[in-house]
Amino acid sequence: MHNFWTIFGVWMAAFLTLAIFSFLYKDNPFYKLAEHLYVGTSAGYMLIYTYFLTIKPMLIDPITKQQQFFLFIPAFFGIIMLTRWFPKIAWLSRWSIAFTIGIGTGLAITGSIQGILIPQIKGTLIALHGWNWTTLNNLLIIIGVISTLTYFYFSKAHKGVIGKTAKIGIIYIMIAFGASFGYTVMGRISLLIGRMYFLFHDWIPLIR
């Protein structure tokens, strides 16, 4: 029986993969079917996951089994988030939002300063001594940081020295975009390789 369901699963996955790929030819009912199935299944899956991995173990079980009644307070804040659907009492949801923003801002400020700003400034304070590749790399990093920051400095017109430095900054930004695009292509092709491998290994065993 297990074997039947495994085979059924592979055929179903293969059909849905081909249905999605069929969009590359043109829009068609098979693509629409697969698309709607995907959206519906994802929503259902997330609903179940949210209930069984969040609401039940973190709220219902502690209240019913361990009598942790203080959890009614976060539950209340969670429920009043839903008042946004009712215009007359929608203002109540601001309490929850204020709470979330407060925590988020507090965490973000400390995280950004302690975890990004200071270590990254420290990472730019690098040695420039001797004639070797490390020095050249370090020099490129320093020029890149200064010129890119200058490009995003808008309190003075980009003319003269500031304009020329900003132009160097644009070159750095373009190189960064190029590297990101190259990596993105690699990522997307990897996904295609994954699907092709599934189709021609698990479904039609051509790849052995």
Partner 1 sequence: MNIFERIEKIDRRIIFLLVAIAVLLPLIFKVRMEIPISEPVKKAFVSVDTLSSGTYILISVDYDPASMPELQPMYKTLLMQCFEKGLKPVMIVQWPLGLPLSIKAMSEMAVEYNRMARAEGKDTVVYGVDYCNIGYRPGGVAQIVGIGKEIRDYFESDYKGTPLDSLPMMNNIHNYDNFALLFALEAGSMGDFYVQYANARFGIKIIFGMTAVSAPDAYPYLQSGQIIGLLGGLQGAAEYETLMKKPGFATMGMTAQSWVHVLIVLFILLGNIGYFINRKKRRS
The single residue among 107, 128, 140, 171 that binds partner 1, judged by CB under 8 A, is 107
Tell the smallest beta-carbon distance from residue 14 to partner 1 (Å): 15
By CB under 8 A, is residue 76 in contact with partner 1?
no
Q: How many CA atoms lie within 13 A of 148 on its CB side?
A: 12
Length reported for the chain: 208
173 lines the binding site for partner 1 (CB under 8 A): no
* CA–CA dist 165, 159 (Å, integer): 9
Listing DSSP states for 27-39 in one string gives --HHHHHHHHHHH
Phi first, then psi: give them for residue 123, nearest 5 degrees. Answer: -70, -20
Q: What's the closest the beta carbon of residue 77 comes to partner 1, in angstroms? A: 15
Binding-site size for partner 1 (CB under 8 A) equals 41
Is residue 6 a contact residue for partner 1 (CB under 8 A)?
A: no
Shortest distance (Å) from residue 145 CB to partner 1: 10
State whether residue 113 is helix, strand or coil.
helix
CA 138 distance to own-chain centroid: 30
* Residues contributing to the site for partner 1 (CB under 8 A): 24-25, 45-46, 49-50, 53-54, 58, 103, 107, 111-112, 114-116, 119-120, 122-123, 141, 176, 179-180, 183-187, 189-197, 200, 206-207
